[in-house]
Structure 1
Amino acid sequence: MPLTPVLSRYWDDPQSWTLDTYHRHDGYEALRKALKMQPDEVIDTIKDSGLRGRGGAGFPTGVKWGFIPQDDAKPHYLVVNADESEPGTCKDIPLMLATPHALVEGVIIAAYAIRSSHAFIYLRGEVVPVLRRLQAAVSEAHAAGYLGRNILGSGYDLDLVVHAGAGAYICGEETAQLDSLEGRRGQPRLRPPFPAVAGLYACPTVVNNVESIASVPPILRNGIEWFRSMGTEKSPGFTLYSLSGHVTRPGQYEAPLGITLRELLEYAGGMRAGHQLKFWTPGGSSTPMFTDEHLDVPLDYEGVGAAGSMLGTKALQLFDETTCVVRAVLRWTEFYAHESCGKCTPCREGTYWLVQILQRLESGGGSESDLEKLLDISDSILGKSFCALGDGAASPIMSSLKYFRDEYVAHFEQGGCPFDPHQSTLMAGVHA
């Protein structure tokens, strides 16, 4: 299956981030087309294209836009979730750094479709270069008449605000993000009401991922049939796969949905010389892990789901045989325990105890009963928290015990990690 560079096709252009470069690549042509359509026509186009949210859950984007009530007097808001914080996920940041106008144009079209006059990009605050790129792109778009009052003479007005978060992983959850935007502590809300009914400032709100919104202009420009010619029937189109870890050429690989890791590894030069794949994540560390027996699983929402995991953000972290599974899972679990907002008991208490048990096992202590306790606590968290952070903490533990239980047992039977830390690149990276 060949790669399909659409969003990434001119990332290597000199000054790819400027408005001039974007214009040379049909920039803002889709916006001109959209403004000649009725807002509902734009929504129907995205619905018919089958574009699914690229932020993790894969919910149909056009359907989400269609949830916004159009007979109310309240203002409507569009919020772009650019708070990319999932371990292993690194697709939105390079997209915004290389081609910020692709996102800005998508924002204007999406806001027009849902009849919004105020849009926000909620950016992970640590990435200051991206913040500056986005702010510069918004200024360029304003000066060119693509933002502000009476856009391109259409009578449509839009203000776009780039908001920098303060580094909380939980603010990647859409309702916690809305609370943070309102100036409150970022914690997930109980739903219903859903953001489409009562989101930002208790008004109808659409929250979309960066890649989802950036995919809108190419669809409008090239048509539904073009988009559906890639991917699968239920997961159409192209997407960015992020390959990291023990791979020869890590990076972003834009390909049709449904490609396999075996095919992606061919483009990436395979695993590093002399090593074999041991385990990998299909969608970041919060998705259940896979092993080398899953190399031919189609990387679309249905294929990965049927195999027992989630496509998520397509963050493929690849680990070879030098990696200690227990150590890797411990590091992920420490992250989730640290980032838990503490609002709900299963996640707040459960992630703490998961770390305690994993630390004991990793250092050579523990027993068989600890493995059952890990599964028991994970089961008490999974699906029982306000948001998916609890699920993300439980998934690596449950899947690693499914595939690598023997390795956990080896730790307490041998009184320590069976992997020499000086031989393991994962351990070397941790202690560097």
Structure 2
Amino acid sequence: MVDRLKNRDELITLRKNLVAQHKDGNKKLISLCSGSGCGAYGTASVYESLVAELKKAGLSDLVEVRLTGCHGFCEKGPIMVIHPEGIFYPQVKPDMIPEIVEMTLKNGEIVEKFLFKDPVSKKKIVHEKDIPFYKLQKRVIFGRNQMIDPTNVLHYIGEDGYKGLEKALFEMEPQQIIQEIKGAGLRGRGGGGFPTGIKWATCAKHDGDRFVICNADEGDPGAYMDRSLLEGNPHSIIEGMLIAAVAMQSHNGFVYVRHEYPLAVKNLNIALKSAREIGLLGKNILGSGFDFDIKVSRGGGSFVCGESTALMASLEGKPGRPRAKYVHTVEKGFRESPSSLNNVETYANVPHIINNGAEWYASMGTEGSKGTKIFSLVGNVVNTGLVEVPMGTNLRTIIYDIGGGIPKKKKFKAVQSGGPSGGCIPEQFLDVPVDFDELVKIGSMMGSGGMIVMDQDTCMVDVARYFLDFLKEESCGQCNPCREGIKQMLDVLTRICAGEGKEGDIELLEELGAMVQKFSLCGLGTSSPNPVLTTLMYFRHEYEAHIRDKKCPAGVCKPLFHYEIVDGTCTGCGLCARKCPQDAITGAKKETHVLDQDKCIKCGICYDACKFNAIAIR
């Protein structure tokens, strides 16, 4: 660690020295992903093997190994990228390390058998930039993750880190900073999409001890964008909060992070400690006379605490319950003081805007939604992971060109966007640009950026039931429309999935949904009917099949279907019988087998195992 920086010139000099060191042409850099995903796949053991093998080969002084944050392509972890060439090795195991060190690092040759194989073209690809998953992205916010050890502040400074803070402190007035954010068109990435510059301006005009708060309580199923940014590049969020503090003349900040993110909390606390020691946080930052510090508060995992007023109540040590919105938090928020709340990704955008200007930022995206957006692409899609694209990129590009399409050549059915309170978007809208306004038009929303892809084997009634069950558990129970309305809707959906649906249930769901939307106290309640209402809008025929025909077309709701072996199609291979955990299938070799319905538990193992489409869902 370097000595405490006393002024701006010392920071500039430090950055120049770090950049010069990084340009050493004789030294290679290995970026090894150590985010939660890759860590679970065994990054630690790969790192140990790599360090040992480099030492054995006498390359320790010529190769730097960095344990970095998430690279985005999570299903291919642990990921190794060798710079400056950008050689990409996925799913690295310790026993692969000796060959990589000998062939690539020592002799400059590619180990072809370890390369990424594109599942669509079937071609081996050497360089990260040529992989379709990365090639079509624009990684403005997420790109530095793979170049930085999140526990080393010098790595961030060497990548132009805290340059925006310098400019904000020494070249701009607070009002100029706010105008720059307004001109950029930055909208909150937490889900609501409220213009960030307007929020800051409104908070700044109210008297009192102003608070800058970061919402890292990411609770949407399948979403982990904020976690990966906090784990991999915590200084970008700290710098964004610092710039916001200068703009609003705030001296106190909080990061409210969910308890289930231990690595994010660990790396964030290390980053905060480093920033204080080096003089970028705390008293008299860079000799400017400006004071600002940040504390970390861990939430208890309540989904409703993602709502601004509930979050602030929890931050105060009270139950995390929303309050009526006629008093805005920018006027009376945390401790009844003016408070500006933005999410992790919003703050990560701020340094880029201050560094590059509002015009640069506004050149990306659509008329009403500027910049890029990080999405977590999960579910029934070939390439799962974190995807950063310009606002306005259509769903087809995200799911098919970047995501690689649907596995096993199955048919796309829908994508759930916006988390559990979002909507289910059918195939007819795959070419709709993804931004705050266009998604609302088709009954969904951006939310924090979660995308769950569903294929032909997904029952949309069951999907609606699943999300409503989640929301029922997460409702704070404070207001009657949300507490009772969601429960009543869930009861109806549960009956339908159990084969007990009746005429009038669809209309009842629509009526209850409209009531919950109109009268609930907070955003959780008003948006909670979205999964039901959008599936009713686009997949009404599935509800009708469940209710009138007592059939589940997708074969998911067990009371509404059974498996049959198709006579004349079954080859008698016996694979289904060997796989069946209940011994419910019998038959002689090369003869049509028989499935005993009394023994069958509808697990679907036989259906998945059959290579001849001889097992049908009835």
Kept after mapping to 2: 8 A contact 1:241/1:316: yes
Cα offset, 1:357, TM superposition: 1.1
Q: How does 1:35-46 map to 2 (within 5 A)?
A: 35-36=169-170, 37-46=172-181
Once structures 1 and 2 are overlaid, which stretch shifts more, 44-53 or 232-241? 232-241
Which of 496, 511, 519 is the equivalent residue of 1:384? 519
Cα offset, 1:57, TM superposition: 1.1
CA distance in 2, matches of 1:13, 1:78: 28
- Does residue 187 (structure 1) correspond to residue 321 (structure 2)? The answer is yes
2:588 maps to: none
CA distance in 2, matches of 1:288, 1:390: 14
Cα offset, 1:390, TM superposition: 1.5
1:51-87 per-residue CA deviation (whole Å, 9 max, x = no partner) reads 1111111111011000025362x20001111100022
CA distance in 2, matches of 1:33, 1:10: 20
Which of 300, 325, 344 is the equivalent residue of 2:479? 344
Cα offset, 1:126, TM superposition: 1.2
Moved over 6 A (4+): none
CA distance 1:325–1:71, shift in 2 (3 Å): closer
2:531 maps to: 396
- Does residue 417 (structure 1) correspond to residue 552 (structure 2)? The answer is yes
CA distance in 2, matches of 1:316, 1:22: 29
Kept after mapping to 2: 8 A contact 1:40/1:113: yes
- Does residue 292 (structure 1) correspond to residue 431 (structure 2)? The answer is no
Kept after mapping to 2: 8 A contact 1:365/1:416: no
Which of 139, 152, 155 is the equivalent residue of 1:21? 155
1:83-120 per-residue CA deviation (whole Å, 9 max, x = no partner) reads 00022322111111111111111111111111110000
1:155-190 per-residue CA deviation (whole Å, 9 max, x = no partner) reads 000120011001111100000001111110010011
1:269 maps to: 404
Amino acid at match of 2:331: V
Kept after mapping to 2: 8 A contact 1:367/1:412: yes
2:191 maps to: 56
- Does residue 260 (structure 1) correspond to residue 394 (structure 2)? The answer is yes
CA distance in 2, matches of 1:385, 1:409: 28
Kept after mapping to 1: 8 A contact 2:206/2:331: no
Kept after mapping to 2: 8 A contact 1:197/1:204: yes
Cα offset, 1:366, TM superposition: 1.4
CA distance in 2, matches of 1:384, 1:18: 49
CA distance 1:53–1:14, shift in 2 (3 Å): closer
1:31 maps to: 165
TM-score (structure 1 length as normaliser): 0.95
1:102 maps to: 236
1:270-321 per-residue CA deviation (whole Å, 9 max, x = no partner) reads 1113112101123223122210001000111222223332222221111000
1:129-165 per-residue CA deviation (whole Å, 9 max, x = no partner) reads 1111111111111111111100000100012001100
- Does residue 357 (structure 1) correspond to residue 357 (structure 2)? The answer is no
- Does residue 333 (structure 1) correspond to residue 496 (structure 2)? The answer is no
Kept after mapping to 2: 8 A contact 1:17/1:97: no
SS at structure 2 position matched to 1:67: helix
Cα offset, 1:16, TM superposition: 4.4
Higher Cα radius of gyration: 2
SS at structure 2 position matched to 1:185: coil
- Gaps (5+ residues) in structure 1? 428-432
CA distance in 2, matches of 1:12, 1:157: 31
- Does residue 278 (structure 1) correspond to residue 413 (structure 2)? The answer is yes
SS at structure 1 position matched to 2:296: strand
Cα offset, 1:416, TM superposition: 5.2
- Does residue 135 (structure 1) correspond to residue 260 (structure 2)? The answer is no
2:287 maps to: 153
The alignment yields a C-alpha RMSD, in angstroms, of 1.7
- Gaps (5+ residues) in structure 2? 1-134, 557-602, 609-618
Kept after mapping to 1: 8 A contact 2:475/2:483: yes
CA distance in 1, matches of 2:352, 2:546: 51
CA distance in 2, matches of 1:243, 1:5: 15
Amino acid at match of 2:361: F
Identity %: 38
CA distance in 2, matches of 1:369, 1:19: 61
